[in-house]
């Protein structure tokens, strides 16, 4: 139970900081509501670019890096000890001085601007700044809390407003200003994180999380990848868009650097409006073959026109537009006529993954959301396989037996429901569920069980694989035979997600071998085509192999050379899918080998296959799959912020 104790300690820190932040936000918003808005925008001082930009220390020339106004005032009752404890807990239990090399991205939990605050539609800069504060100092905050710590209480905010909020609330400062794109690249490559502002209309609609929003916007950059010409992967930034909602599974995406540059330069008049910071004791993170989102082909009409006021023309001597040489000598930074966020982002309506949960006429309320975050905090239980053996139908479970009490029904992502319940004596337990109104009902059981000590009470959490847009009935059971116990029959309704995801392995004769175009790091298949299968080295019979990789304990040939004939037959995964309530421009179906591939130059993604399909429904085949290998077949919607929507494990005969 040591891990559970650490969970509760972190839950306590989380709840304390969240409660304090909510109170501080409420008090300051109320206090400021009687006063006229005060904007912090002002004419910026002149500056001189007197040397090459460099990401080291504070030597990056910037257009504005002025001292924030006001005295630093930590949030009420949040002592330095509490702040240190929060940082410690949220860095996985290690002190910032012992910060370990990040194993992957994102390096910080995503923060959404849609946190319930009164200015959430305009708080993109502040929500992005909350992620930078998390990276640099382990500070737990939100866009709405930062909003109360600066003067501008109307419309959008600027980088200077973010600097003021961080100074007044936490006594910290980050360098910020107008920098060049190559400086931004070097900063992120060296391990920095950055908040940048830009024009959202310059982002291709397929990459936008809010398709119809084309105003000024801010995003947080968590990493940089220099690209890999051999695998046709372009330079890319790891982008966390504050429009995304982590509670729905959004964790950010790799965007091509060209898209990020276009986004930023359109707003900054040839420079990038940015704030950047470095993790304590941090080191440059390792990036191996990122999943860079593809740029859809131009339809010939060019980028969508922006509906926000265009930035004013740069005054004389200001940074030159993109594509022209950088100016020298005194330069006056541009002042755009609107702040980022002046054009409000509207929250996309989306039904929660699970709602309308009832048991005996009582509404079931979630109580352990902290362990349902994606990814969950360190220390949350990983689950054990359910051990209850399905016996008699659920409606005639005999009593007596253990007393079963259902506490909640919740979900952290589409197509998964979590039922929490207690059993008054140790016994094998599970949750049975079936579609409401179906006749005959097909009764299923949980895919996994988790045991959690919550305030001294052992709570069992059952994970149920469900379909979107469906009402289910369920019953928690414990024990077996005549000594079985059960809860009353409950019900819940699932929301947006995947209403169908069927995976069937089949053989295809005379497969057409052809890879598609694009910038995906995976083997992206041409429409209706397949990839050459990997072949075990020991079955080559002396034939030459151009490229090899190891998966698990076996070596495979990835490339026999361009003259290799296609196989007579190969195995494929046929995927039939249906999205419900999810707006997407298409879907991607990927087949991931269960073992990570190791090539001559590190991790290889050549064994990962990818095929595209239409939205919201369709059939996609992905192959050729390697005989004897296990795969995870994954469904992802292009342009949706929920992450992976469904997955199935298959083993190829």
- pLDDT tens sequence across 455-503: 778 888 898 989 888 999 999 998 876 677 889 899 999 988 888 999 9
Residue 74 has pLDDT above 50, yes or no: no
Residue 265 has pLDDT above 90, yes or no: yes
User: Hey, what's the torsion of the CAs at 614, 619, 623, 626, to 10 degrees?
Assistant: 130
Residue 613 has pLDDT above 90, yes or no: yes
Residue 589 has pLDDT above 60, yes or no: yes
pLDDT computed for residue 221 by the predictor = 96
- In this predicted model, which residue has the larger pLDDT, 412 or 491? 491
For 90, the 3-state DSSP assignment is: helix
List alpha helices for 91-246, DSSP H: 124-137, 143-147, 159-170, 181-189
Residue 331 has pLDDT above 70, yes or no: no
Span 615-622, mean pLDDT? 94
Residue 614 has pLDDT above 90, yes or no: yes
Residue 137 has pLDDT above 80, yes or no: yes
Give the pLDDT confidence of 304-315 residue by residue, as tens digits: 333 333 333 232
pLDDT computed for residue 349 by the predictor = 66
Span 502-510, mean pLDDT? 94
Assign domain 500-651 one CATH number from 2.60.40.10, 3.40.980.10, 3.40.630.10, 3.40.50.620.
Answer: 2.60.40.10
Residue 540 — very low, low, confident or very high, per pLDDT cuts 50/70/90?
confident
How far, rounded to the nearest angstrom, does the alpha carbon of residue 393 sit from its chain's CA centroid?
40
Residue 48 has pLDDT above 90, yes or no: no
Question: Cα–Cα distances in Å, from 103 out to 97, 286, 352, 386?
Answer: 17, 7, 31, 30
CATH class of segment(s) 354-494: mainly beta
- In this predicted model, which residue has the larger pLDDT, 391 or 230? 230
Residue 230 has pLDDT above 50, yes or no: yes
Dist CA 534 CA 320 (whole Å): 51
Give the pLDDT confidence of 140-155 residue by residue, as tens digits: 899 999 999 998 888 8
Dist CA 320 CA 318 (whole Å): 6
pLDDT computed for residue 369 by the predictor = 56
Domain boundaries, the chain: 2-36+48-331, 354-494, 500-651
Residue 573 has pLDDT above 80, yes or no: yes
Assign domain 2-36+48-331 one CATH number from 3.30.230.10, 3.30.530.20, 3.90.70.10, 3.90.226.10.
Answer: 3.90.70.10
pLDDT computed for residue 313 by the predictor = 29
pLDDT computed for residue 161 by the predictor = 92
- In this predicted model, which residue has the larger pLDDT, 159 or 103? 159
Residue 562 has pLDDT above 50, yes or no: yes
Of 4-13, 197-206, 237-246, 376-385, the one with minimum mean pLDDT is: 4-13
Question: Cα–Cα distances in Å, from 595 out to 365, 448, 551, 558?
Answer: 39, 22, 5, 15
What is the phi/psi pair of residue 647, to 5°? -150, 150
The mean pLDDT of the chain is 73
pLDDT computed for residue 318 by the predictor = 28
Whether omega before 400 lies within 30 degrees of 0, making that bond cis, reads yes
Name the most confidently modeled range: 111-125, 248-262, 381-395, 518-532.
111-125
Best CA proximity match to 198, nearest among 268, 252, 128, 112: 268
Q: How many C-beta atoms surround the C-beta of residue 253 within 10 A?
A: 22
- In this predicted model, which residue has the larger pLDDT, 84 or 259? 259
Same fold, 2-36+48-331 and 500-651: no
Residue 1 — very low, low, confident or very high, per pLDDT cuts 50/70/90?
very low
How far, rounded to the nearest angstrom, does the alpha carbon of residue 35 sit from its chain's CA centroid?
38
Residue 364 — very low, low, confident or very high, per pLDDT cuts 50/70/90?
confident
- In this predicted model, which residue has the larger pLDDT, 217 or 549? 217
Q: Could you tell me what percent of the chain has a pLDDT over 90?
A: 26
Span 598-624, mean pLDDT? 86
User: Hey, what's the torsion of the CAs at 588, 589, 595, 601, to 10 degrees?
Assistant: -40
Name the most confidently modeled range: 170-179, 409-418, 476-485, 571-580.
571-580
- In this predicted model, which residue has the larger pLDDT, 344 or 393? 344
Span 94-108, mean pLDDT? 47
Strands, E, within 479-519: which ranges?
485-486, 490-494, 497-509
Residue 281 — very low, low, confident or very high, per pLDDT cuts 50/70/90?
low
Residue 11 — very low, low, confident or very high, per pLDDT cuts 50/70/90?
very low
- In this predicted model, which residue has the larger pLDDT, 264 or 539? 264
pTM, 2 dp:
0.57
Residue 123 — very low, low, confident or very high, per pLDDT cuts 50/70/90?
very high
Residue 269 — very low, low, confident or very high, per pLDDT cuts 50/70/90?
confident
* 545: Cβ contacts below 8 Å, ≥ 6 apart: 537, 557, 558, 559, 560
Span 226-253, mean pLDDT? 83
- In this predicted model, which residue has the larger pLDDT, 72 or 79? 72
Give the pLDDT confidence of 422-457 residue by residue, as tens digits: 998 888 899 999 998 877 778 899 988 888 777 778
pLDDT computed for residue 522 by the predictor = 81
């Amino acid at each position: 139970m040591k891990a559970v104790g650490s969970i509760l300690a972190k839950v306590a820190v989380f709840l304390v900081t969240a409660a304090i932040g909510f109170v501080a936000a409420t008090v300051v918003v109320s206090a400021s509501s009687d006063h006229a808005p005060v904007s912090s925008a002002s004419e910026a001082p002149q500056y001189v670019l007197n040397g090459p930009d460099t990401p080291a220390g504070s030597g990056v020339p910037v257009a504005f890096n002025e001292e924030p106004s006001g005295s630093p005032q930590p949030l009420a009752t949040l002592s330095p000890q509490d702040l240190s404890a929060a940082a410690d807990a949220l860095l996985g239990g290690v002190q910032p001085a012992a910060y370990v090399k990040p194993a992957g991205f994102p390096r910080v939990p995503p923060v959404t601007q849609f946190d319930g605050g009164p200015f959430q539609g305009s708080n993109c800069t502040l929500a992005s700044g909350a992620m930078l504060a998390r990276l640099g100092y382990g500070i737990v905050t939100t866009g709405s809390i930062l909003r109360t710590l600066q003067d501008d209480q109307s419309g959008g905010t600027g980088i200077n407003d973010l600097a003021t909020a961080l100074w007044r609330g936490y006594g910290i400062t980050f360098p910020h200003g107008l920098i060049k794109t190559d400086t931004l690249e070097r900063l992120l490559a060296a391990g920095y994180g950055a908040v940048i502002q830009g024009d959202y209309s310059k982002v291709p609609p397929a990459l936008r999380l809010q398709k119809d929003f084309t105003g000024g916007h801010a995003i947080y950059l968590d990493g940089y990848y220099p690209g890999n010409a051999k695998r046709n992967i372009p330079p890319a930034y790891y982008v966390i868009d504050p429009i995304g909602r982590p509670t729905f599974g959004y964790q950010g995406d790799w965007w091509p650097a060209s898209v990020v540059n276009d986004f930023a330069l359109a707003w900054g008049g040839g420079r990038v409006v940015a704030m950047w910071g470095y993790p304590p004791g941090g080191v440059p993170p390792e990036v191996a073959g990122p999943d860079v989102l593809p740029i859809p082909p131009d339809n010939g009409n060019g980028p969508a026109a922006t509906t926000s006021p265009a930035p004013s023309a740069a005054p004389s001597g200001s940074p030159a537009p993109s594509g022209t040489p950088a100016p020298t000598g005194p330069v006056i930074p541009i002042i755009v006529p609107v702040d980022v966020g002046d054009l409000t982002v509207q929250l996309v309506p989306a039904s929660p993954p699970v709602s309308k949960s009832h048991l005996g006429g009582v509404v079931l309320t979630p109580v352990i959301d902290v362990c349902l975050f994606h990814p969950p905090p360190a220390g949350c239980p990983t689950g054990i396989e359910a051990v209850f053996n399905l016996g008699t139908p659920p409606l005639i479970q005999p009593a007596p037996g253990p007393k079963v009490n259902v506490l909640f029904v919740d979900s952290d992502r589409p197509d998964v429901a979590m039922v929490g319940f207690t059993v008054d004596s140790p016994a094998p337990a599970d949750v049975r569920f079936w579609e409401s109104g179906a006749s005959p009902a097909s009764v299923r059981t949980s895919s996994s069980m988790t045991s959690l000590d919550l305030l001294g009470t052992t709570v069992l959490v059952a994970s149920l694989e469900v379909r979107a847009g469906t009402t289910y009935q369920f019953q928690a059971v414990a024990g077996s035979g005549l000594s079985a116990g059960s809860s009353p029959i409950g019900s819940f309704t699932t929301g947006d997600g995947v209403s169908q995801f069927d995976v069937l392995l089949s053989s295809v004769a005379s497969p057409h071998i052809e890879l598609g175009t694009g910038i995906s790091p995976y083997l992206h298949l041409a429409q209706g085509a397949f990839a050459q299968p990997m072949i075990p080295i020991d079955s080559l019979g002396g034939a030459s192999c151009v490229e090899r990789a190891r998966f698990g304990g076996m070596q495979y040939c990835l490339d026999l050379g361009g003259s290799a004939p296609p196989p007579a037959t190969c195995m494929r995964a046929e995927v039939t899918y249906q999205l419900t309530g999810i707006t997407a421009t298409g879907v991607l179906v990927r087949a991931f080998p269960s073992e990570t591939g190791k090539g001559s130059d590190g991790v290889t993604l050549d064994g990962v296959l990818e095929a595209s399909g239409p939205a919201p429904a369709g059939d996609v085949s992905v192959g050729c799959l390697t005989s004897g290998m296990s795969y995870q077949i994954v469904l992802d919607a292009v342009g949706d912020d929920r992450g992976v929507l469904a997955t199935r494990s298959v083993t190829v005969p």
